[in-house]
Amino acid sequence: MTSKRFFAGFLLVSLILAGVVSYYASSNPDGLEKVASDKGISAKEKNHSLKDSPFGDYGVKGIDNARLSGGLSGLIGVGVVLLVGGGLFWGVRRRGSAGADPAAEQDEKVPSETSRKA
Amino acid sequence: MHVPDGFIDAPVSIAAGAVAVAGVGIALRGARRELDDRTAPLAGLTAAFVFAAQMLNFPVASGTSGHLLGGTLAAILVGPYTGILCVSVVLLMQALLFADGGLTALGVNVTTMALTTVVVGYGLFRLLLRVLPKTRASVSGASFVAAVVSVPAAAVVFTLIYALGGTADVSIGKVAAAMIGVHVLIGIGEALITAVTVSSVLAVRPDLVYGARGLLKPLELRKAEQNTAEPRPSRA
């Protein structure tokens, strides 16, 4: 499988999970929420300061259909995380030039890779 | 397992924030060695996958659900430093866009769900691979066990933080028992998702799985040894 095809498939799976499957997720409290309400921790909970933001609580404000609202917010989330994360990782990544990075030379695997490229 | 605002007092929230900043700083430096032109896109996609999977709460016990944390999974796929960054990006976006996880609790959430899961999960994964035979099945099995343990480990760290800076007057022993108990169950779900995902990537593109790299290299070496050994008998 080519990298391009693999990456496209991986993204498609994420989009389907967030956009479609998420509608069928359990709406029960998660482990922490359950323990917090059982043991009296939740009494001190404060509302989220961005509670009324456009995508607050995994919905899109103004869309009443739960399936559409939740699914759309999931798709937007996948897109935003991909852009922010991908941008960060692309910026941080090791560039091709051999031996340019002193930190990379300390890694025993890297010199062989760079020398192979050179 | 997203901690909302108000659970942890200000001093401990700030301290956890400092731990999170330090951890993410170390991860930013370390990720440079893990990321190149090919793995950087994979890391972005892994973060997106963790976000998507975190939306899928699965039932674990009566009236309780759990979802993937993803630290172990991300670390195995793209490396531990990058794995910390993947989960941290997800947590940051959830807090900023989706009002999931308090803004003042971001340091706590990064410490428990990004740092703890990766350090414990990936550390255990490497330890297991050291003693297990070097096969794909071992990678899948080790990812399962590591993921199971990483979730109650995050619950333990949350409980420790709560013991230091919890705002309600509750029995820490009871909180610890309840947190660990339910998160062992959630850990099984985490482990299933992690093992299935790692196995799926191993099946189609084993070269892209960071945690399986040490496993593929010895195979290449053995091949080379056979080649050099072959001429000897023919010479004799």
Full pLDDT tens readout for chain A, 118 residues: 899 999 999 999 999 999 999 999 999 999 999 999 999 999 999 999 898 899 999 999 999 999 999 999 999 999 999 999 999 999 999 986 443 444 444 444 444 444 444 4
Among candidates B213, B223, B40, B212, which has minimal Cα distance to A112? Answer: B213
Instruction: Domain B10-228: give its CATH code.
Output: 1.10.1760.20
Rounded to the nearest angstrom, the minimum Cα separation between B11 and chain A is 16
**pLDDT > 70: percent of chain B:** 91
Strand partners, B65: A30, B59
* Cα three-residue angle B36-B42-B44, rounded to 5 degrees: 100
Whether the Cβ atoms of residue A1 and residue B201 lie closer than 8 Å to each other: no
For residue B81, the chain A residue with the least C-alpha distance is A89
Report the C-alpha gap between B90 and A3 in whole angstroms: 24
Strand partners, B61: B64
Record: contact A22-B55, CB cut-off 8 A: yes
Q: What is the pLDDT of residue B217?
A: 54
* Centroid of chain to Cα B49: 13
State mean pLDDT over B1-25: 98
What are φ and ψ of residue A53, in 5° steps?
Answer: -65, 165
Report the C-alpha gap between A86 and B236 in whole angstroms: 57
Rounded to the nearest angstrom, the minimum Cα separation between B234 and chain A is 31
Residue B4 neighbours by CB under 8 Å, 6+ apart: A45, A46, A48, B101, B102, B105
Sign of CA dihedral A67, A68, A74, A78: positive
Q: What is the 3-state secondary structure (H, E, C) of B159-170?
A: HHHHHHHECCCC
Beta B64-66 vs B58-61: how paired, if at all?
A: antiparallel
Chains A, B: CB contacts within 8 A come to 233
Domain range annotation of chain A: 15-22+50-94
ipTM associated with this complex? 0.89
Among candidates B110, B107, B127, B118, which has minimal Cα distance to B153? Answer: B118
Q: What is the pLDDT of residue B214?
A: 73
Tokens of B30: 């370390």
Domain range annotation of chain B: 10-228
For residue B151, the chain A residue with the least C-alpha distance is A31
> Best of B64, B78, B207 to disrupt the A interface by mutation (most A CBs within 10 Å)?
B64
DSSP H helices, B35-168, are 39-54, 71-78, 80-97, 106-109, 117-131, 136-165
